[in-house]
Amino acid sequence: MNPIVVGSLESSDCLITLTPHPSRKIAIESIVYDAYHDAIHAVIMSLLDDYNLQRVHVLCQDKGALEYTIKARLKTAILRFKEVHHES
Amino acid sequence: MKIYRSLDDLFESLPVVNGLSISFHHHLRNGDGVQNLILKKMNELNITKLKLYPSAIFPVHTEMLKLLQKGAIDAITTNYLNGSVAEYIAEHGLPNQLKMQTHGGRSRAIIEGETIIDIAFIAAPIVDEEGNAAGHDGPSACGSLGYAIEDSVYAKHTILITDHLVKKLEQPQIFSQHVEAILVVDSLGDRQGIVSGTTAITKDPVGLRIAANAAQLMDELGLIKEGMNFQSGAGGISLKVTEHLKNTLKARKLKAGFFSGGITQSHVNMLEDNLVNDLYDVQCFDLHAIQSLKKNPHHHAISAHDYANPANPKRVIKDLDVVILGATEIDLDFNVNVTTDSYNTIIGGSGGHSDTATDSRVSIIVTPLFKARTPIIKERVNTITTLGKNIDCLVTERGIAINPKRTDLLAKLSNTHLPIYTIETLLNKAYEYTGVPQSYDLKAQKIGVVEDRDGTIIDTLHTKKRR
Amino acid sequence: MSRSFLFIPGDVPRMIQQLEIFGADAIILDLEDSVSMTQKDEARHLVESFLRKHHYQNPLIYIRVNPIDSEEYTYDISTLQNLRIHGIVLPKASLKGIEKVAKDLPQCKIIALMETPEAFLEIAAIAKHKRVEGLLLGAEDLAQALNLERTEKSDEILYVRSQVVLTAKAFKKIAIDTPYTNLTSNEGLLEDAQKARQLGFDAKASIHPNHIDTIHQAFSPTKENIKRAKRIVAYAETHHTMRFSLDGKMVDKPIIEHAKAILDAAKRYRLD
């Protein structure tokens, strides 16, 4: 199954890749890892909770995206993922 | 004058021993083949415990890297470094230490005898048979040789290396009385890298907003006036500020006094348009500057001592009205870092940053408020390059902060439409977008020091931070 | 009143997050033409997420939605329901479209993008609609529909430009000129903007941030106009009169009102 990919690797953006996975798993690669890792992790967790999505692997490749961008990219990815996998 | 055609013959005449102190200049920038030539020879001769005093180090300097890897270099004192040498030092440090000086401070230390150079190897684009040298002509022309002058006078042995030997040279910058020998080589380096090409005026909307704010700030502070003395770097934003200045001078029929420091086409055009009296050129950044230096009597090649030695009461920068400078980080006390990033990667150094900020009546930092998610204002900079007491204004695209000790500037701006805030407010504006960064404590060992122009140690340097 | 309306693609974070520094009086976040069909949802979510976090008084924020007959329009509208924005820019405007947006988004002002020949047949009805705030000429799409070649001098759009100005003014709405699409010629931009100003436009749209200063140069009151307006208003106030002569020219109520409007604009644009 093809993964869901949203966003870009341009500066101030991030690329979110969602793949089906037995349990929720989050991987973060970021140019601001040390300064914002916790914040990025928290925003991803909270949005997955909002959409009640458990069985997914999230890869966030971050080029210094502000929080609103990470949220938006992930939201698009989640909605597309749910459409493809009829996941609830 | 002894003229050598072979490097081996030259080296036989020199006291090349372990623990030797040698110096180079960086006017050939990333096209420099001379430092590589000399250090390769040192490597072949297995010389160790070298002390190096290059005025700057660039990515092209790979022979230095080989010596570092061998452990043959004991200590390095320089003004600016990037590339693989910088990466190596930030990773491993040196047996002794890395000392970062300013351009003015380097000159002072040499003249006052703090820095003792055994041999100065000076790349010289044009040399005559008597041993006079300059940089404005020849196949490797680089313009001014400003940063090599004190080396030539005070080193125990001064060697010129050239690819262009002539009978007689008019208006030399380096004089035969200080020179011991000349080495003639095929080429001083890579032409492309010597003249790094034209530096482009920024077209980025954020950069343009910053430049417009800076230009308006200069105007409202009453700095744009007949006879004003100005310095700006070759960065895209600085060049745009210079363009604004040009337009204002033109519109008001004013003429500036001098521009100093690194000279670019922008500065030369203004000299030719009769918008400024003189250029004091310690370093040419492009071909236009080199050609102008050659032909225009109001374009003066000056030494680092003339330019910025703090012990020289006649130094040019003491009369600066305004200097435009960049910052990698700036903190709530206005301390500026252009030496390292937040992880101790060495990305540059003072050059003339601290010198000009200290002397100029007004110093203006131009920088975006944040780059991607990284706020440029920090609570504390990672490395102090220039002390906050010498920084007067911070100009960003979202607002301007004035150092609170400059109550005179704040008073002049009391009725302004400019977006003036405290630096704390500006930091909070950045946080509205980026969020507050989490604190992280990464391990690092001391590898060197930052020395201000008067010799005071103002900060320490460390190895790259590790998780 | 805004002098400049800057289009920003809805899918580019590094542009969106800088919108306050471009100097434009109004920003149009675009979900339509600058966003590819496969990225409509990305753009919508990005704009939504940004506007939930950041609020601006200045510049005014507009969103260009997709045309009412597209599937995307429905998604656009549901996303915009709870966002604080100043208005909507409706592409391929028609009276039917205006009425639909007015019903779907009961709070929002609407700028009608005049870019089809049909729209010009009902231009008065569109301008008259109480939710319509202004008319924006979309010359590129219109030229295509009319099989016109666009030229630097823009003589070919003189008629539609004048029609937009005349109709907008008849209903006291804002008249906004089409963007200048040559990104390299600043002189051409200034000439084009000055021509629009002469024709009676209040503002000009733009597709590049670096155009804004030049547009403002053309659409701001001049120093001389501000000076004269100040004298007119001061005379009227000190002498308690609405009819007098200044520098040999007759001044009456409409001229005093106009002078006040100039001073308001000068104040808002910080030209005083």
Tens-place pLDDT, residues B188-247: 999 888 876 556 888 899 999 999 999 999 999 999 999 999 999 888 999 999 999 999
pLDDT for res B199: 67
pLDDT of residue C46: 98
C-alpha torsion sign, points B399, B403, B409, B411: positive
Confidence at B279, pLDDT banded by 50, 70, 90: very high
| Alpha carbon of A34: minimum distance to chain C alpha carbons (Å) | 22
At C125 the pLDDT is: 98
Whether pLDDT at B277 is above 90: yes
The verdict on B312 and B444 lying in the same domain is yes
| B217 and B188 within one domain | no
pLDDT tens by residue, C232-270 = 999 999 998 889 988 888 999 999 998 998 998 888 888
* B143, B226: one domain: no
**Are residues C18 and B417, on separate chains, in Cβ contact within 8 Å?**
no
Q: What is the DSSP string of B132-158?
A: -EESSSSTT--S--GGGHHHHHHSSEE
Ramachandran sector of residue B382 (left: φ over 0; alpha: ψ -120 to 50; beta: rest): alpha
CB atoms within 10 A of CB B161: 25
Same domain, B23 and B62: yes
CATH 3.20.20.60 domain position(s) in chain C: 4-219
d(CA B349, CA B336): 11
Alpha-carbon distances, residue A22 vs A57, A84, A85 (angstroms): 8, 17, 13
Phi, psi of B165, rounded to the nearest 5 degrees: -100, 125
Same domain membership, residue B182 and residue B210: no
Residues B141 and B69 placed together within one structural domain of the fold = yes
Query: Are B437 and A35 an interchain contact pair (Cβ–Cβ within 8 Å)?
Result: yes
Residue A1 has what pLDDT? 65
Q: Determine the Cα–Cα distance for residues B442 and C126; give it in Å rounded to an integer.
A: 63
Q: Which of B194, B213, B240 is the last residue of a domain?
A: B194
Interchain contact, C21 vs B417, CB within 8 Å: no
Closest-approach residue (CA) in chain A for B467: A34
* Whether residues B223 and B166 fall in one domain: no
Please give the pLDDT value at position C166. Answer: 98
The answer on B370 and B269 residing in a single domain is: yes
CA distance A3 to chain C (A): 16
Q: What is the CATH number of the domain that holds B281?
A: 3.40.1080.10
Quick one: pLDDT band at residue B309, thresholds 50, 70, 90? Answer: very high
Q: Is the pLDDT of residue B343 over 90?
A: no
Taking an 8 Å cut-off on Cβ atoms, the answer to whether C42 and A7 are in contact is yes
- How many domains does chain B fold into? 2
pLDDT tens, residue by residue, A54-87: 999 999 999 999 999 999 999 999 999 999 987 5
pLDDT of residue B151: 98
Q: What confidence tens digit (pLDDT) does each residue in A30-63 have?
A: 999 999 999 999 999 999 999 999 999 999 999 9
Pairwise CA distance, residues B334 & B365, whole Å? 10
The pLDDT of residue B439 is above 90: no
B21 and B161 share one domain: yes
What is the reported pLDDT for B467?
64
Tokens at residue B156, please? 């125990």
How far apart, in Å, are the Cα atoms of B412 and each of A12, B218, B242, B362? 37, 11, 22, 13
CATH number for domain C4-219, candidates 3.20.20.60, 3.20.20.70, 1.10.3720.10, 3.40.50.720 = 3.20.20.60
Question: What pLDDT is stored for residue B15 in this prediction?
Answer: 94
What pLDDT is stored for residue B443 in this prediction? 72
The DSSP secondary structure of B154-204, one letter per residue, reads HSSEEEEEES-EES--SS-SB-GGG--EEEE-S-SB-HHHHS--PPPPP--
Is the pLDDT higher at B41 or at B200? B41
Structure token pair of residue C119: 């729209």
pLDDT digits over C53-87, tens only?
999 989 999 999 999 999 999 999 999 988 999 99
- What letter does residue A86 receive in the DSSP assignment? T
CATH number, domain containing residue A48? 3.30.230.10
| A63 neighbourhood in chain B, CB within 8 Å | 372
B211 in the same domain as B183? no
* Amino acid of residue B244: H
* Pairing verdict, β B446-451 and B457-462: antiparallel
> B47 falls in which pLDDT band (50, 70, 90)?
very high
Contact B83, B35 (CB under 8 A): no
* Residue C21 C-alpha, separation from nearest chain B C-alpha, in angstroms: 6
Say whether the peptide bond before residue C221 is cis (omega within 30 degrees of 0): no
B357: three-class secondary structure by DSSP: helix
In this complex, do B205 and C21 lie within 8 Å of one another by their Cβ atoms? yes
Residue B197, pLDDT score: 55
Structure tokens at C155: 């003589």
Q: How confident is the model at residue B441 (pLDDT cuts 50, 70, 90)?
A: confident
**Which stretches of chain C drop beneath a pLDDT of 70?**
none
pLDDT at C151: 93
Q: What is the pLDDT, as a whole number, of residue B55?
A: 97
Give me the domain span that covers residue A77. 4-85
Q: Which residue of B has its CA nearest to A37?
A: B438
B189 lies in the same domain as B211: no
What DSSP state is assigned to residue B254? -
Q: Give residue-wise pLDDT tens across range B117-145.
A: 999 999 999 999 999 999 999 999 999 99
Domain span at residue B153? 2-194
Distance of CA B300 to the CA centre of its chain: 18
**pLDDT per residue as tens digits for the range B65-118:** 999 999 999 999 999 999 999 999 999 999 999 999 999 999 999 999 999 999
Q: How many domains does chain A have?
A: 1
Same domain, B95 and B42: yes
Q: Could you tell me where the beta strands, DSSP code E, fall in B235-335?
A: 256-263, 276-284, 299-301, 322-325, 329-331
Size of interface A-C (CB pairs under 8 A): 42
Least confident residue range of B171-185, B231-245, B296-310, B400-414? B231-245
Is there a domain that residue B451 lies in? yes
CA nearest to C38 within chain A: A6
Contact C21 B432 (CB under 8 A): no
- The DSSP annotation for B308-347 comes to H-TT-TT-GGGG-SEEEE--SEEETT--EE-SB-TT--B-
DSSP state letters, A22-59 = SS-EEEEEETTHHHHHHHHHHHHHHHHHHTT--SEEEE
Task: State whether A36 and B373 contact (CB < 8 Å).
Answer: yes
Q: Measured between beta carbons, which residues in chain C are less than 8 angstroms from residue A68?
A: 17, 46, 49-50, 52-54
For residue B426, the SS3 value is helix
